Chain A
Amino acid sequence: MLSQIEGSKAVAKTVAACRPEVICAYPISPQTHIVEELSRIVKNGELTGCEYVNVESEFAAMSVAIGASATGARAYTATASQGLLYMVEAIYNASGMRLPIVMTVANRAIGAPINIWNDHTDTMSQRDSGWIQLYAEDNQEAADLHVQAFRIAEELSVPVMVCMDGFVLTHAVERVDVPEEADVARFLPPFVPRQLLDPDQPITMGAMVGPEAFTEVRYLAHQSQLDAVDVIERVSAEFASVFGRHTGGLVRGYRLEGAGTVVIALGSVLGTLKDAVDAEREQGHAVGVLGITSFRPFPYDAVRAALAGVAQVVMVERAFAVGVGGIVAQDVRTAVEGTGTRVHTVVAGLGGRPITQASLRGVLAEAYAGELGRLTFLDLDRAVVAAELAREHAAEAPRAAARTAVRSPDAADTVPAGGAVPVR
């Protein structure tokens, strides 16, 4: 039903329409509105046959989901940021046991410094956890992805994270066609677990596996992700046939025709990017946008195909590998290996900093001029950084001198240890 609704509520109603049997939750901004709404839905009887468990931590939340899923129940939870990290051990456990849990992550930065606003550092830290990761561009897609996520998860017996930008999406009120339970039922069959705990057919789950079989178990997890590439596309197409709209899938291009420069991104920033590209096209620049919905598995073939003939890519990332640079950019580089396409990383929107059209268009101008470097931090306040580095340098100098003196008074090497001289 079309309604003007908050993203979190739309997601909660959609999750309820998927008829989960166990929902476990621990609150953290900006995920709270989702689990609050689900609690209300279960408590007032709108969703029956579902246990809502208020747990004592995110570690417990994922653990409850593990137990429930292993017992054959459709299990759901949601978290963000610190909460995601707090459950990491259980996240790997869920995927290792191939339990098709679906979890919403309301993307938020990771502290310190503590920050409740949006970026992708939380989910990027779990890119190798064996979970499928789907990133929503808007609230319609956020809602729809949950329906698709249960299908994908249960078909492959692999857990799925639906990543939606915290606040930007979770707290935004916009028009969403919330999937109806009757339509969902036509699309999402009841959960039939591959294996489950059942006294009538006792199995041992979570056994200790040694070197003789561990590689094979891990390889099978890898294979399931490779299989997911096709499944995600197919499920998106089937979803379109039932619901009449195209959401999900691996990647989505916008104005790619004849583009020499393509901006790639994940999540809600794609909206801003499309506006920026419209404006750029009006100015005569051959530029397009590629949205990546499925980051795990990474759709190498689809990305390579979409970038055929493209001279350069501007990869806008809401997270980065400290000391290294882009995270998604590494996969994009692998995808275009040997094609000559250049990949620039632009780290943007950290800790909720707005990514403005003006700044993006500034970056594009640099890209057209061949002046964009391999790694750029969008809107970085260089004056602040320089002042702080100078202050640190001044504070460090006497300590460094003391260290040098203690180490060896005659040492030829008098450069202070510990990188006190900033290397840029």
Chain B
Amino acid sequence: MAATPVKFYQVGSFAVGNRLLESGQLSVQSDPGRTNALTSGHRACQGCGEALGARYALDAAMAVTGGRVITVNATGCLEVFSTPYPETSWRVPWLHSLFGNAPAVATGVQAALRAKGSDVRVVAQGGDGGTVDIGFACLSGMFERNDDVLYICYDNGGYMNTGVQRSGATPPAARTSTTQAVGEHPGNVFGQGKDAPRIAMAHEIPYVATATVADLADFEAKVAKAMTFRGARYLHVMVPCPLGWGSASSHTVRIARLAAESGLFPVFEAEHGEVTHVRRIRRQVPVEEYLRLQRRYAHLFSPVRDDVTIARLQAAADRNIARYGLLEDTAVAELSYGEPVVTGAAPTLDFPVPARDHHVPSTSAGPGLDLHERPDPLIGRPPLPGPTPGDQETI
């Protein structure tokens, strides 16, 4: 029987494949060896970048630690869509306390583990609002003490869970439900910005990195790398929100990629306060390509085109490109955006993944919910085929 040709897509992100394929044809994402730390059945919107990012982050953290992870979550979409009692999508020990205290709660978890001499690691996560606004003091305190916590901020540029209000991470000109596209200056103000990754770097913590859900292999590798450090670590991940951004569910990865390729969202790594690596852009995309896919920027294009504002946003992107040297040649060409993935090459991340477990998590009564299960013993991930260049289709 002739083999059915497999249609690969989403070049560079490894987000290809289908769990129904033969194991030899499976992609990283559909690998049955994944833990699915955030498993199916949750209530995120279709195309939610945050759900995608959280699953990959926690899977990667579980893989490198052999499943020895405790997770702390701030209030926000991720917390709400994953745990409507009596259900939960989490297959890791998971604790939600409040909106603004996730870093401090993580410190407490970590302190308890240290007191008990445990090797379990701690990952804290929150939305941009929970991180750069209401939780900022706790985050800075955690950084300053250099507590052994990996904190991941899922940046969708607004308070999405409460209905898309403006946060300190909402980009200029974006329309939100508290920065409407009305008046003399529609959308969010051009403030000074609050560059959380650079503020994290100013604390000189061991590791800071940014990533997008367009490049999940890069993101996973950064999570894995972060777990090799001890002390405070910070990952800032761009996660498009179809509902809040007014974008197509199918455009989540594309928009995230354009954010990086335009220079609006620089992707880099820093250690102890110094930038150590940037993800270069092969060809800079005009910000307009990014903006046009999102209704939160619709007022920039109609009823009349707002060239001045678009130019200001382009200037911000250009500034990032200059600041991080995003366009310069790089020795690690295969890491560049838009570069075809080398045939047959292993992804940047190569680590054992706990075995798949098909059980649906169940919950017990009471505020703490039992999962009744534990991750299976670790097995090695089967070797993965890379997509062949001929099968690729750029978006």
Contact = CB atoms under 8 A, between A and B. Distances in A.
Interface stretch (B8-16, B64-72, B175-183, B253-261): B64-72
Contact of A199 (B69, B84, B111, B137): B69
Contact of B112 (A56, A67, A206): A67
A207 B95 contact: no
Nearest to B94: A204
Contact of A56 (B115, B140, B361, B369): B140
A64 B105 contact: yes
A71 B70 contact: yes
Interface string A48-66: 0111011111011001111
Contacts of B380: none
Interface in A1-55: 21-22, 24, 49-51, 53-55
A213 B91 CA distance: 22
B93 A57 contact: no
Contacts of A56: 137-138, 140-141, 144
A97 B111 contact: no
A207 B369 contact: yes
Interface stretch (B96-104, B184-192, B225-233, B289-297): B96-104
25 contacts: A55-B141, A56-B137, A56-B141, A59-B100, A59-B104, A60-B104, A63-B101, A63-B108, A64-B107, A69-B108, A70-B109, A71-B108, A90-B101, A195-B370, A199-B70, A202-B92, A202-B93, A202-B373, A202-B374, A202-B375, A203-B94, A203-B368, A204-B368, A206-B97, A208-B83
Interface in A265-303: none
B85 A22 contact: no
B145 interface: yes
Interface string B47-90: 00000000000000000000111101100000110011110101
Given A50-B115, A60-B137, A197-B70, A207 B96 contact: yes
A198 B374 CA distance: 10
B141 A202 contact: no
Interface string A173-202: 000000000000000000000110111111
Contacts, number: 200
A96 B97 CA distance: 10
B111 A73 contact: yes
B144 A202 contact: no
Contacts of B90: 202, 204
Contact of B145 (A21, A54, A195, A205): A54
A199 B115 contact: no
Contact of B369 (A22, A200, A203): A203
Given A75-B108, A203-B370, A205-B369, A90 B145 contact: no
Interface string B113-148: 111100010000000000000000110110011000
Closest A-B pairs by Cβ, 5 of them: A67-B108, A56-B141, A73-B112, A206-B96, A63-B104
Contacts of B115: 21-22, 49-51, 68, 73
B85 A209 contact: yes
Contacts of A65: 108
Contact of B367 (A63, A89, A200, A217): A217
A412 B67 CA distance: 78
Given A55-B107, A207-B367, 5 more contacts: A24-B108, A98-B367, A199-B68, A201-B93, A210-B84
Contact of A57 (B137, B367, B374): B137
B127 to A, nearest CB: 15
Interface of A: 21-22, 24, 49-51, 53-57, 59-60, 63-73, 75, 89-90, 93, 96-98, 194-195, 197-210, 213, 217, 220
B106 interface: yes
Contacts of B67: 199
Given A21-B115, A55-B141, A202-B374, A93 B98 contact: yes
Contacts of B141: 55-57, 60
Interface of B: 67-70, 72-73, 79-80, 83-86, 88, 90-98, 100-101, 104-116, 120, 137-138, 140-141, 144-145, 361, 363-371, 373-375
Contacts of B368: 97, 194-195, 203-206
A64 B95 contact: no
A205 to B, nearest CB: 4
B1 to A, nearest CB: 43
A205 B105 CA distance: 12
A202 B38 CA distance: 12
B131 to A, nearest CB: 14
Given A70-B109, A208-B79, A203 B137 contact: no
Contacts of B105: 63-64, 66-67, 70
B111 to A, nearest CB: 4
B144 A205 contact: no
B138 A59 contact: yes
A53 B114 CA distance: 12
Nearest to A26: B141
Contact of B95 (A55, A67, A201): A67
A24 B141 CA distance: 13
A381 to B, nearest CB: 41
Contacts of A213: 85-86, 365
Nearest to B70: A197
Nearest to A216: B365
A206 B111 CA distance: 20
A315 to B, nearest CB: 35
Nearest to A193: B368
Nearest to B102: A63
A97 B370 CA distance: 14
B95 A63 contact: no
A194 B370 CA distance: 12
Contact of B104 (A64, A201, A204): A64
B394 to A, nearest CB: 39
Nearest to B91: A202
A162 B373 CA distance: 38
Contacts of B120: 199
Contacts of B116: 21, 49, 71-73
A303 to B, nearest CB: 31
Nearest to B371: A202
A53 B110 CA distance: 11
B85 A210 contact: yes
A98 B110 CA distance: 20
A89 B105 CA distance: 13
Contacts of B68: 199
Contacts of A54: 145
Contacts of B109: 67-68, 70-71, 197
